[in-house]
Amino acid sequence: ARLLQILSFSDLKVIHLERNLMSVANSWKKKVLLPEYRNKEVFMPVKSNSLIVKSWLKIRWKGRKLQNHSPYLFITYEQLIAHPIKVLSLLQEFLDVSFDMQDLRVHPSHAIGGNPMRSHLDSRIEIRGDNEDKNHLSSLERFTFPIIDRLSKIFFR
């Protein structure tokens, strides 16, 4: 993204969508079957707490640095869930495009790694809250991840 910002021929607009650390950690702790392996059961890797925190903080820091050089829109996943139409309208305005918000669809994307939802052909995008119990996290993790999340907001505004 930074290289695209430097290149004068690109008209880069940055949309930084961020999910809270505890939800990210819970997701990385799940045992999720990868759909690209048809002859055997292969699961997504489960990350350690230190790698989850390090990766999340690095992405937050680098994403925030992009706002100094391009049009930048920061949205939290929680904002998107609470007010999907408002946020999607904001995206349309920011990008200067229009799309049918009632018919958003997922198209297959990157074939290596990432969220297995990508493998469902022509699936509707479901914008839903994070009602899932954080059952993949220990009590200590459920206590510490929100603290790290709040502290990072002080350092990465």
Residues with Cβ within 8 Å of 20's Cβ and at least 6 positions away in sequence, in order, are 76, 77, 78, 146, 149
Q: What's the rounded Cα separation, in Å, for the pair 12 and 7?
A: 9
3-state secondary structure of 31: coil
pTM of the predicted protein model: 0.74
- pLDDT per residue as tens, the chain (157 positions): 778 888 877 778 889 999 999 989 998 888 888 877 888 888 888 899 999 999 999 999 988 888 888 899 999 988 988 888 899 899 999 999 888 766 665 554 444 445 555 555 555 556 666 666 677 899 999 999 999 999 988 887 6
